Chains A and B, each alone.
Chain A
Amino acid sequence: MVDQLQQLAKPLKGAHIVHINSTRYGGGVAEILHSLVPLKKALGLNVTWEVISGEEPFFHVTKSMHNALQGFPIAISQEKLKIYEETNAKEAERLQPLLEEADFVFIHDPQPAPLLHLTPNRKGKWIWRCHIDLSRPFRPVWRYLRNLVVEYDASIFSMPDFSQPLPHLQYIIPPSIDPLTEKNRELPPKDIEEVLNRFGLDPPLPIILQVSRFDRFQDPLGVIRAARLAKKFVPFQLVLAGGGAADDPEGEAVLKEVQAAAAGDPHIHILYLPPDAHKTINALQRAADVVIQKSLKEGFGLTVTEALWKGKPVIGGAVGGIKIQVVDHHTGFLVHTPEGAALRIRYLLFYKDKREEMGRKAHLFAKENFLITRHLRDYLSLLLALKLEAHERLALET
């Protein structure tokens, strides 16, 4: 794979690539960029990663936009759109020299999408990277955003289901994890024990874990309901671990709802973690017997890949990118309801052999499909295709 990456990077040497997103820490996009940017640099590419900044009202608008694009009928007023546009205009001014001279600009998600229109003297190719589930967007908001992204040279979606008719090439590139980061590398047993002790978890009791932001789309209340239903059959402890992100103003309210729902149950642990608690999450995932990701909407769900990589079967909501990571009955189970999740928890805790077999398949599946090297290869292929204007076949000669 390294040879392949070097071959693909060679014709791109010296090209200036700029990535723009809306948060440096917290959430899957930032995590991917923390790995992808140094790897691209190691291949000899000139890469810059910039984060747009904004006030709280800006992130309220973009969160509403995010929810609307994932299908919630949320109307966004002209006044709010003005905040969105003004923040982008300010950022465009700050980033102008960089954006004008870049050979390739990756704009991640809707937050910085207007930057293309705000950079009329751009010379490079612009790519809109949409990480969210756009399969059934709330139409008025998508119509607004579509006008902002229609002139990009290409866009990237995580799976075909998320793409929308657009007049440019729409690449399908699933996200990935980096196996060498603090969140995914092997941990000695003593580090895992330390984390269990720190949070008062009971090591002999099986652990069911969901790692996610405290977000309604991740259905933490549904997970608590599933756990209560499953506890009638098998004993275990449920851990809901996650944090917030700078661009997610709703997290605190959801956390309070979850804490209230779990109150008084000694076997439900709600852990609010800082965005850099990578080692803690790694330890929790390795300690877990089964990982759950019962999302109602999901762009991709990196926590699913993280769990697969650690050899854990995943019970996932049958939505978005989870459907391509959880191969039903092979790397875990796809479910539609808390009841479905409860049955699968019971099954996986009851049948240890099956759980271990699924775990082995899960690791192999993540290794072959969802590691950062494959992701980087796809990105470099896209850049080369855009540079060479090759649409069907891209042949590299050494």
Chain B
Amino acid sequence: MKVNVKGHIRDLLAFRGLVPRRKKRIAKSSAEPVGLDPMNKLAQQLHPDSQHLVIAEIRDETKTTRTFKLVADPDFDARGLAYFRAGQVLSLKVEANSVRITRPYSISSAPFEALGVDGFYEITVRKEPDGFLTPYMWDHWKVGTKIRSSGPCGFFYYEPMRDASQIVGLAGGSGITPFRSLAREIVHGDLDAALLLLYGSSDEDDIVFYDEFKELEQKAPGRIQVVHVLSCAEVSLEGCEQGFITADTIRKYADVDNSSFFVCGPQAMYEFVEKELAKFDLPSRRIRREVCGEVKDITQSPGFPREVADQTFRLQVHIGGLTTEVPARATETVLVAMERANLAPPSQCRSGECGFCRSLLTHGEVYIRPESDGRRAADKRFGYIHPCSSYPTTDLEVTVPRDV
């Protein structure tokens, strides 16, 4: 077979011309350097590795709940704050008691409020008396305190391509925060959706944003509706349900078959609400759950090897050019062990989901709660763990990436 495109000789000449032609094209092109491209610029705006923030205002919401208003730190060349989706979190990178840790908090302000030169985020935090960070926040965080955070992250947001436009929020305690963001966004007109919120509190005094949600309900009647569910014995507030968020309560207010359920609250509430929602036999896609952070008492988790619960193991860590050995308790995550030793490992969601802390386990065994195992199939096979949801059950050796 003989193929001619423009004729035998012309084709051969064209082949011989390839190199001179390429050289010529290169030589006559501009030598102007190119700058940062628009897509990498957009990526930096939407997903900065970290943000430098400063506390602009502090408000007490209840006797144990506080809102911190955060703005871009003018000392850094701030392009302003990264935009986000209602329901996303900031993972704060903070130093408390000389230890560098991360803590994810849902953004309680609305996305539109982050825009522009006066843009801000708010996070609303409940003080945990025995917690590591929150008492420190109450004591040390003042207006003007500088805070570093991740870019906005997390997957607990309303997605119109996937979810029903009638959202039923099931919130408990400080789990109200992503719904405040969502409600403000709906009222502002940026989201074409309606929110029915069933909000569980232990006491009337503990209800966060009571007045504000009343206002939001009035501004967008039919699109925002809040039902308070109080577990205390006596309820004086008008229109409240007493008890817990049961299937009956849900059915009383919600169009169960035509809604998407969004659940956010403390661990105990998830466990309760899961059982109630199961009664509806909804398709999986109709229920979205915010990840709940570290498990309170891992020894209660089915499958946890309780015989090692009292033990402290040796954890050898390779991070960058450093190799070091630190103690690791069986009841604390590998991430916490590294943070205690001030190794400042990378982390973000602290729930096993995002993979930001992903590390290579070269020696030893860990326990991972199946619900908190967000690893890829190949990661499991090749020995990778997410230290934020892995508990040592033997001595360990891990290789950890340095934080970004």
Q: Are these two chains actual partners, yes or no?
A: no
Q: Contact residues of A with B, CB < 8 Å?
A: none
Q: Contact residues of B with A, CB < 8 Å?
A: none
